[in-house]
Amino acid sequence: MNEVIRLASKGDGVTADGQFIPYSVPGDYVDEEGVLIKGPHHVAPVCSHFPVCGGCRLQYVDDTVYKVFLKDRIAEAFHQQGLSTPLLRETYLSPAYSRRRVSLRAFKAGKKLTLGYNKMASHQLIDIKECPLLEDKLFQAIADLRPFLQKWLKPRSLAQIEMTVADQGIDCLIAMPFPESLEATEAVTIFAQEKAFARLSIDQGYGPETRWEPEPVTVTLSGVRVDLPSHMFLQATKDGEQALVTAVKEAVGSSEIIADLFSGLGTFALAMPEKARVYAAEGLRDATLALKKAAGRAGKSVFVEHRDLFRRPLQEQELSRFDCIILDPPRAGAKEQIPALAKLPKGRLVYVSCNPATFARDAQGLLAAGWQLSWVIPVGQFHWSLHVEMVGYFSKG
């Protein structure tokens, strides 16, 4: 009997003698004939599309093992940089049916419409009939879209659909060729009104064009309503967002002068204490305008600057003004910003990341310059996937 002792980075089980066993879990055994004997952490997948659908990789893994796997993803990234494993606190997992945004595709072959995700390791689509990741209202919106796409998507044409649960309902963006006739224009309005969409936009290759938006679409961040530009980044789940905010606020502590770099719509800037003064820098103009408007409306002391932090990172003299710096870069990390941060003689730094590799790379630069990494909190917003987000708290001086 050969025991599976861990999960590799791509989710395959690894036995004590180094064999990779697909769809196995630590605690499983492989007998002499290669038959997998399931252990206590091997559970039944919750979706009928698994494992054909590429949306989930680890539905057969229970939460106990899955939380360890997400921690191991971070630890391995640190080892790749020649660093010891940081203090990894309890992993937070978003539950099933909690995703508030989704990206999917539709293809029409003859009269048959396929609407869903890519198959595992393939560009071929699978027509989804259920999805335990999504909020119920989001999956209902997918069902509502089917007859609309069935009528208006041309044969042999592909549509890319992005949907988000906003304060007013579903914000939907469809990228597809679309007729410019009066009938088609009226059909969009009637459909969006009947299904109570908050906004429906069509992109024919020239950017989103709003066809229906009876009132400005917003998303509430820390009790503040913020305008939601079309195709704008938002944390995948509300509870995951709150877990990140809670971790950031813990690290910020009593700091009163705070920088929020790569601030987006203000997920963290708007969550800071009332007495705090916040400088928020973001490269996307629509996001900076939305945050500036929301902060002003809410009476928040937030100064917002439209600034490309990859091309024009803050310099040491600019950074030295702040008691605490929040860093929330995209997957590429903050390589351009790290050198100036490394030079600071003292301070607090909260690093929010969605990529263990770039997080560890940037951490290496900070640690080499005398910063201390107190803890890292893993956050699993993408349940049953290989992805993990994290919040790390650094201090110096």
Catalytic residues: 354
Q: How far is CA 374 from CA 177, 302, 320, in A?
A: 51, 27, 21
User: Positive or negative, the Cα torsion across 103, 217, 222, 396?
Assistant: positive
- Overall size of the chain counted in residues: 397
**Cβ(306)–Cβ(292) below 8 Å:** no
Establish whether 235 is an annotated binding residue: yes
Distance, in Å, from the CA atom of 15 to the CA atom of 19, rounded to the nearest integer, reads 5
Closest residue by Cα to residue 217 from 174, 163, 176:
163
Establish whether 318 is an annotated binding residue: no
Sheet holding 101-109, edge to edge: 125-127, 112-118, 101-109, 158-166, 169-175, 199-203, 208-212
Establish whether 17 is an annotated binding residue: no
The phi and psi torsions of 4 (rounded to 5 degrees) equal -80, 125
Distance, in Å, from the CA atom of 259 to the CA atom of 320, rounded to the nearest integer, reads 10
Establish whether 130 is an annotated binding residue: no
**Cβ(41)–Cβ(61) below 8 Å:** yes
Q: What is the DSSP string of 250-262?
A: HHHTT--EEEEET
Annotated binding residues for S-adenosyl-L-methionine, as ranges? 235, 262, 282, 328
Binding residues: 235, 262, 282, 328
